[in-house]
Amino acid sequence: MRFFPYDRPYENQREAMDRIHNTLGRGQNVLFEGACGTGKTLSSLVPALEVARERDKTVVIMTNVHQQMRQFVAEARAITREEQIRAVVFKGKSSMCHIDVGYEECQALRDNTRAVVDTERDREQLERRQRELLAESQDGDGSAADARSAVMDELEEIEERLEDLEEQNVCDYYRNNLTEDTDDFFGWLFEDVRTPDEIYEYAEQQQFCGYELLKEGIEGVDLVVCNYHHLLDATIREQFFRWLGRDPDDVIAVFDEAHNVEDAAREHATRTCSERTFDSALDELADADDPRSEDAANVLSAFHRALVETYEDSFGFGDREGIGENWEDVPIANEDRKDDLTLEFLQRYSGRGIEDDLEAAMKLGQELDEQYEEAYREGETATRTECQTLGAAGFVSAWMSESSAEGLYPVVSVTRDAGTDEIYGRAELYSCLPRQVTGQLFDEIYATVLMSATIQPFDVTENVLGLEDAVTMAYGLQFPEENRRTYAVETPPLFSSDRDDPAVQEEVTETIRDAVRMTPGNTLAFFPNYGEAGRYGERLERETDGTVYLDEPGVSVEELRQQFVADDDAVLCTSLWGTLAEGVSFDGDDAHTVLVVGVPYPHLDDRAEAVQDAYDVAFDGTDTGWRYAVEIPTVRKTRQALGRVIRSPEEVGVRALLDRRYSRSAKSDLGKYSVNGTFPHEEREELIDIASDKLKFAMLNFYGGHDAYDSEPPAP
């Protein structure tokens, strides 16, 4: 309890901490589901810090949700008031750089700057030595005069080298890191838990590079708060552990909102290469005075032409005109043969051999990249040029060797440039199996806690992420059951084929209107997509007295949220796949009722089918892919949305699922289309089946029984 910063734990929190402590002490992994009010963060962080202190480990806690990052900082600060820990909050270089340069440029600037500073120090030492020798020679020491002459020769060489170095690009902020006293910075850093923004501002005032100082100060700390990619990206992870001064086995990893790890791992494993990269690579090769450039251009131009022909051949009448600014997939995979892009590439290629030409392109690309590095170091260019040949050749090599590998799905996508109105494409190796990323990570590190309010079913999470020997625990809502009601409202199933039915729309709108009218305050309404949110938002504007707020792509979500919570009789319509569905709390009177309208299945495109097929193969089941890749993630999204309200023991609220597929009574006639059985048992037991025209009476009785109405209750 020395790391627990408050008077006493919540109910079940002490038990969760004990179990997690014992599990981590054995070096095992934990899958931890806890509803709002279970104190998941401290339940995981407190025992992790205790085990780390006992066994000389470092705790790394991660999230991909900004609000949770702020929560971690608040908890870490509270802990430091009780027990001294050294904690840092780490973000990527791009958000902390004072001069806004890329990674390669930054690396070159660091090397140049360090070379200048080291040479200046050498000069100072030689100047000091020559003064000492001068004094000795003036006292009559003949050998000192000879030695001083040699030192002066070295000084002359140093001066010439320094003159050359000072013409190169350097970073003044990093130079100050190397030449000024930074003790005050580190003293300030560990007085409290500092956010990246605070570090940036403090470093800017002192003209230091805060990011580089943070990297230096991170070694041996007790706790690091960071984003997923610091551990999910293999290259970043290797550097990150080096900065920590830790081997993987010295790290305890805590993943918050762990239901998102699957998609995040898939994203980190996916590789893409744009048509414009090939354009730039071919221009680069045309300017290269090297005999290998012809072979390199031969193979890259063939792939480039194949990419263009593949998406051009896919366009039917009017398709080209319909391409927008978002990437749109062109299906190219085939069941019985190579994908269309590979076949087109093989047909178009002519040369001495694809492997030989790619090897020539890779070697030439590496040499060009070194030349760009040197030119930037020497100050010949203002920015560090990226070698496009190296990137394009590496991608084509991976495409030819990996496109048929397990879990990788080849894709071609197209988009329209808003500025030029030009259509261009990209090739992509889409990763279907996240465990190919996470499985290796979990094997390397000491232990892991994966926590979320919606991580069940545990066996699915274990299989998908490649987690072995995990200890599982789940704690439901700890708040009084009498303060909430959860309804499965038997409105018509909103199958995509029925959404345009006027009768369906009328019944759903009337049910939403009833729920909004019976709510003593604000109502949140989540829909399967932004289109449906807009459809019902417009209908509600015509049929309700309160304000209707509509969340749309491109609209500031935080501004919309603030307007909504400042109201007292409003409804907010949004997509369940938007940013308001998780990681955002609506506490107190912000919202009292939450509605999930329909079962929000994702768009089932070829990628989704590829993931299902990969899961079917990997987990030996014909229905496994649908369950693992579609149904369970969809219900998790629904459960996340339900958790936006009732955030404390005192709050009173209604959670309603508007679609017959959620009801227990419809399981027999809807069969596989029913999702009731996908909910965890304890949540399923809370679901109350209710007819759509009865919802208003149930809500009136519930809220009236809690004296929630400020004045007379609305008439049903």
pLDDT in tens, 198-256: 999 999 999 999 999 998 888 889 999 999 999 999 888 999 999 999 999 999 999 99
**Residue 610 — φ and ψ, nearest 5°?**
-65, -40
Banded model confidence at residue 164, pLDDT cuts 50, 70, 90: confident
Paired tokens of 600: 């929000």
pLDDT score for 604: 85
Q: How many angstroms separate the Cα of 130 from the Cα of each of 137, 267, 500, 521, 663?
A: 10, 59, 90, 82, 90
pLDDT score for 8: 86
Question: Which position has the token pair 């020769």?
Answer: 153
226, β-bridge pairs? 62
Helices and strands (H, E) in the chain, number of each type: 29, 18
Q: Convert the pLDDT of each residue in 638-692 to its tens digit.
A: 999 999 998 888 999 999 999 999 999 888 888 888 999 999 999 999 999 999 9
What is the DSSP pairing of strand 570-575 with strand 547-550? parallel
- For domain 271-432, the CATH architecture is Orthogonal Bundle (1.10)
User: In 582-680, which ranges are continuous DSSP H helix?
Assistant: 606-618, 624-626, 632-642, 667-670
DSSP code string of 41-70: HHHHHHHHHHHHHHHT-EEEEEES-HHHHH
pTM for the predicted model, two decimal places: 0.88
Q: What is the DSSP letter of 439?
A: H
Same fold across 11-94+190-268+442-460 and 480-706:
yes
* Chain centroid offset of residue 350 CA: 41
CB under 8 Å, gap of 24 or more: what pairs does 602-605 form? 602/577, 602/630, 602/633, 602/634, 603/529, 604/630, 605/329
Distance CA 412, CA 341 (A): 8
Contact 389, 364 (CB under 8 A): yes
Question: Which position has the token pair 């015509």?
Answer: 542
Helix then strand then coil, in percent of the chain rounded to 5, is 55, 15, 30
The CATH classification of domain 11-94+190-268+442-460, taken from the options 3.40.1130.10, 3.40.50.970, 3.40.50.300, 3.50.50.60: 3.40.50.300
Q: How many angstroms separate the Cα of 663 from the Cα of each of 514, 606, 660?
A: 19, 30, 5
pLDDT score for 537: 94
- Check pLDDT > 90 for residue 151: no
Contact 553, 526 (CB under 8 A): no
Helix (H/G/I), strand (E/B), else coil: 550: strand
- Check pLDDT > 80 for residue 382: no
Question: Which position has the token pair 């970043």?
Answer: 236
Distance CA 89, CA 68 (A): 12
pLDDT score for 366: 95
Banded model confidence at residue 622, pLDDT cuts 50, 70, 90: low
CATH 3.40.605.10 is held by the domain 480-706: no
Contact 61, 258 (CB under 8 A): no
Q: Which of 101-115, 284-298, 468-482, 533-547 has the lowest mean pLDDT?
A: 101-115
- Check pLDDT > 80 for residue 37: no
pLDDT score for 699: 97
Q: How many angstroms separate the Cα of 236 from the Cα of each of 111, 178, 268, 530, 682?
A: 19, 24, 11, 35, 40
Distance CA 669, CA 683 (A): 22
Contact 116, 163 (CB under 8 A): no
Distance CA 450, CA 380 (A): 49
Distance CA 522, CA 560 (A): 14
Integer Rg of the chain from CA? 31
Q: Convert the pLDDT of each residue in 534-582 to its tens digit.
A: 999 999 998 777 899 999 887 888 889 999 999 989 999 999 998 888 8
Q: Does an H or E element contain 462, and which?
A: helix 458-465
Q: What integer is the mean pLDDT of 105-129?
A: 86
Q: What is the DSSP letter of 690?
A: E
Q: Where are the domains of the chain?
A: 11-94+190-268+442-460, 103-170, 271-432, 480-706
